[in-house]
Amino acid sequence: MCYYWFVKSRKVKRLSIRTYAFVDASNIIYGTRNEGWKVDFRKLYKYLKERYECKKIFYFAGEDSKNIKQKNFYKKLAEFGFKTGKNLQARGWYFG
């Protein structure tokens, strides 16, 4: 966690900084596909947590309720720790 120390009238105040990451699915999917890359989302999550000390990592993508493969993918992302789809909307994190 990042900390900043401020001195104000002889008192030292410690402020903690919260870092959140917002991953856009279309940029990840289409940007890497054109380069022939595949993303390891478990490693991406770990990297963002360790390197940037992110408190929360959000994954934004469209959702097709009939697409079973997509649902399983979102479940796997949630297992890794990503905040996705409906669990964002339920907590007031809807940006639509």
Convert the pLDDT of each residue in 5-42 to its tens digit.
Answer: 555 555 666 667 889 999 999 888 888 888 889 899 99
Q: Is the pTM of this model over 0.85?
A: no
> 19 with 55: CB under 8 angstroms?
yes
pLDDT number for residue 31: 87
Question: Distance from first CA to last CA of the chain, Å, rounded?
Answer: 30
| Cα–chain center distance at 41 | 10
